[in-house]
Structure formats: structure tokens, C-alpha cells
Amino acid sequence: MTVDHAHPPSNDARTALRGDILYFLRDPGWSEDATGAVRFEPDGWLLIDQGRVVAVRAADEPPDSSWARQDWRGHLVMPGFIDPHVHAPQLDVIASYGAALLDWLERYTFPAEARYADAGQSRLGAERFLNALLAHGTTSALVFATVHKISSEALFEAGRQLGMRLIIGKVLMDSNCPADLRDDIAQAEQDCIELIERWHGVDRLAYAVTPRFAATSSDAQLAMAGGLLQRYAGRAGGLYMQTHVAENRDEVRWIAELFPDSRSYLDVYDRHGLLTRRSVLAHGIWLDDADRARMAQTGSSIAFSPSSNLFLGSGLFDWAKAEAAGVGVAPASDVGGGTSLCQLRTLADGYKVLALQGQRMTAWQGLYAATRGAARALDLEHEIGHFAPGTAADVVVWRWAEGAVQQRRQEMARSLHERLFAWMMLADERNVAAAYIGGRLRYRP
């Protein structure tokens, strides 16, 4: 690429990226025929001014000399991927051996998260995590910190420095967890309020109320969480809510024992006012029809985490049932339960999970779900996930092929869909050539 990397362009420069530009105009559905839903400009131009997209132009409509050109010919230029469910501190335990969900939390996750009580560890962990997201092609995320306020503070600070669109929440846990990770309800509420007041709606940052899952929060803490959503409903579009639901059969049975008055696992959250259009619940494998109907009514979304579900042996998520019920679904890495931050690997595992159930995910649906679809699930379709004029110029440039196997498969593709499907299955973070946040070059290997 022709660009001065010692002095990368600022977000007030008029910049034109040249490459094979792909984004989605709307949901393409599940057919290989996505006519009208996809825009692809081979050797086209993406025009960026003041950190925002101005236009996408065809190859024969080059910008004039007032635009600083950056030449990515032969590369795929897409909106950055969006991860709607990921645990920042769990990079420390990614790919840990031999445990199902509840045992995995006790053996690996809780000890790792306890280290983030240290401010220095939180700062280094936040920087490592966000840099890793960019290196894996993800430019926006809904993120779990730890129970420690400093862990969220560090992520917000690092995200602000990078200019990233991030939604972050301090984990809430006051039950069934180690003493060094248990928070007092009053202090947890005060921590959340201070984080909300300082960060929610500032720059490109937002706050998510974050009960880890129903088992680790008392009724009183869940009620407090619901109260926060109500209290700040009018601030910057409202708070987000993130948690887990119906991931594992043993977990579902445990929740039924802990909350015998609730109809279902999901109902525990619903009774406490935690289901809104800005609520994202991870997994949702063992929901029933009534649960899915309630999620659709409230506008809540599911973060589909196939790599994690396979790795922990949790089960197979049924996307078709969720979609038929009107529930939004977006693919998520769930690192560290998942085994890669790269959303391409998430999609490849997702294809396999669905194939086992007789469902076939096209490249169109997968890539849409990880970009514009995820933005819709996060109530951010006006800002990210596509290249309509005025959207934030969060862009990832990808190599179509890395190595001889990928290269040969690209050469043999007979259509754009076949080319993209092979790329989605075979490519990974090694294919990332550059990542831009708000038009600024933030990562290049």
C-alpha cells in the first residue's frame, strides 16, 4: 500500500482507500442470491473525510487530487467486524483444557479475573486485548471486564485513546463465586453509577450493566441492575445489558433450583427488568419457544458463540428457530470460552454448528451478521457495520489469500459468493492487512 506509515493520516484528512470494497445494504437472507442486498465494487474507492464515510465509488470514478490515496488493490476492504460478546480478561485462559462450563469458570476463569484487581494488570490487559481485537479484524465490541471497577476504567481509557466504538461493563457477582470476586450490592451500584456518569455516551463509548449470569447474582443485585437500566433510560440512548443465558444443561438446571419462582432461566432476567432492545444475551442454546417470543417482544438479541459452544461442549444453537421467532442473532467470539478473537473463525465454526442441524449459512448471511447485523443487534446500525455516507470509517483491509492453499481456492472460485465463502472458511487473522478506526490507520502487521 502506498502510504506514509511514519505519519499515518489523521481523521481530518480526506482519504481515498482503493480496493475490492464489500458491504451490505440490508439483510441478505439465507439464499445464495443476495441481489440488492450486497454492494461489491472491485477495485473501487472508499472516500473518508473527518473520520466518516463520504461515498463508495466504482473503479471508473476515481477521486480528484485533493484526496490522499491509499492503494489496497487486490485486497478486500470491508467494515470492521463487530463482536457482541467477548471477555477481555479471559485472553489469559483461552484454550484451557478439559472442562465444561461451570467447572471451567472455577478452574480457569475466576482465578484469571482475580488478577485484575491490580491496576497495572488491568491497564496492560486492556491494551493487550484491544490491540488483539484490531489485529484479528474486529473494530467494535460489547465487552465484559471483571468485577473490579479498575478493569472497566482501563478498558474505557484504552478504547478512548484508540477511538474505538466499545460498550463495556463491570461484572456483577454477589453469590456463588469466590470471595475475592464477590461485590457488595451497594458498592457495586456506586461503582456502576460512577462508570456510567464518567463514560456512557462519551466519545464512542457506552456502558453495559453486566450481571455475569443469574447464578452469581442475588435477587437484590439483579433488581439493582434493572434499576440502573430504568434510571438511565434517557441517557445517550439508554444503557446496554449483557449477560449469559441457557448455555449449558447443568447450568439451566442449577438456575431452576436457585430461582424456583421463575418460569425459565430467561424469566429470571425478565422479572428484574433486564430485557430491553439494548440487551444482548450470550448463547441461548436451551431456550424454549416462550423464551424466544419474549426476547422478540422486548427486542433483546442473542450472541451466538459457536466456537465456545463446541469447545465447552455446551450444545448446538438453533439460529433458524431464533430467526423464525423474530429474535436478532449476531456471531460472537466469547473469548476465552471460544478459541479465537477472529470473527472469521467464529463464522467457520458457526457454519458447522448449523450444518449439523440441516441449516446452511451462506457467506452473505455470515458476513452480514458479523457487520451490519451485529450493528443492528447493538442498536448502532446508524453508525457502524456498513459504508453508507456518514457512518464511522471503521475499516479492515484483508488479503484475499494467505498461502498456497487459499490462493489456489480463490483462483478456482466461479462466482463472488463462492470466492467469499471459501475466504470465510479458510481465512483468519493472518489475512488482516490493516485496520482503520475513524479513518485512522490503527493496525498494520
Q: Is the pLDDT of residue 6 over 60?
A: no
SS (H, E, C) the chain: CCCCCCCCCCCCCCEEEEEEEEEECCCCCCCCCCCCCEEEEEEEEEEEECCEEEEEECCCCCCCCCCEEEEEEEEEEEECEEEEEEEHHHHHHCCCCCCCHHHHHHHHHHHHHHHHHCHHHHHHHHHHHHHHHHHCCEEEEEEECCCCHHHHHHHHHHHHHHCCEEEEECEECCCCCCHHHCCCHHHHHHHHHHHHHHHCCCCCEEEEEEECCHHHCCHHHHHHHHHHHHHCCCCCCCCEEEEEECCCHHHHHHHHHHCCCCCCHHHHHHHCCCCCCCEEEEECCCCCHHHHHHHHHHCCEEEECHHHHHHCCCCCCCHHHHHHCCCEEEECCCCCCCCCCCHHHHHHHHHHHHHCCCCCCCHHHHHHHCCHHHHHHCCCCCCCCCCCCCCECCEEEEECCCCHHHHHHHHHCCCHHHHHHHHHHHCCHHHEEEEEECCEEEECC
Measured distance CA(144)–CA(242) in Å, rounded: 8
pLDDT digits (tens, 9 = 90+) for 109-134: 999 999 999 999 999 999 999 999 99
Single-letter residue type at 430: R
Q: Does residue 358 surpass a pLDDT of 60?
A: yes
Q: Specify the pLDDT at position 12.
A: 56
Mean pLDDT of 52-81: 97
Global pTM reads 0.96
Whether 9 shows a pLDDT value over 80: the answer reads no
- Distance CA(89)–CA(264), nearest Å, equals 29
pLDDT at 187 over 80: yes
Asked if the model's pLDDT at residue 7 lies above 50, the reply is no
- The pLDDT-based confidence of 3 (bands split at 50, 70, 90) is very low
In this prediction, residues 92-96 reach a mean pLDDT of: 92
Residue 11 has pLDDT above 70, yes or no: no
Find, among 151, 21, 124, the residue nearest to 78 by Cα.
21
**pLDDT confidence bin for 13, thresholds 50/70/90:** confident
Average pLDDT, the chain: 95
- Percentage of the chain beyond pLDDT 70 is 97
pLDDT of residue 101: 83
Task: Copy the grid coordinates of residue 189.
Answer: 451500584
**pLDDT tens column, 388-423:** 999 999 999 999 999 999 999 999 999 999 999 999
pLDDT at 1: 44
pLDDT tens digit sequence for 231-287: 999 999 999 999 999 999 999 999 999 999 999 999 999 999 999 999 999 999 999
Give pLDDT, residue 49: 97
**Greatest distance between any 2 Cα atoms in the chain:** 68
For residue 174, is pLDDT > 60? yes
Q: What is the pLDDT of residue 8?
A: 45
Q: How far apart are CA 206 and CA 198, in angstroms?
A: 10
| pLDDT the model gives residue 4 | 34
Architecture per CATH, 15-79+391-443: Roll (2.30)
Domain boundaries, the chain: 15-79+391-443, 81-341
Give the CB-side neighbour count of residue 60, counting CA atoms within 13 A.
0
pLDDT over 90 percentage in the chain: 94
Mean pLDDT of all residues in 190-212: 98
Residue 5 has pLDDT above 90, yes or no: no
Question: What pLDDT is attached to residue 28?
Answer: 97
pLDDT digits 0-9 by tens, 290-336: 999 999 999 999 999 999 999 999 999 999 999 999 999 999 999 99
* CATH, domain 81-341, list 3.40.190.10, 3.40.50.720, 3.20.20.140, 2.60.40.10: 3.20.20.140
- pLDDT-based confidence at residue 104 (cuts at 50, 70, 90): confident
Mean pLDDT to the nearest integer, 13-40: 96
Cell numbers at 252, concatenated: 439451566
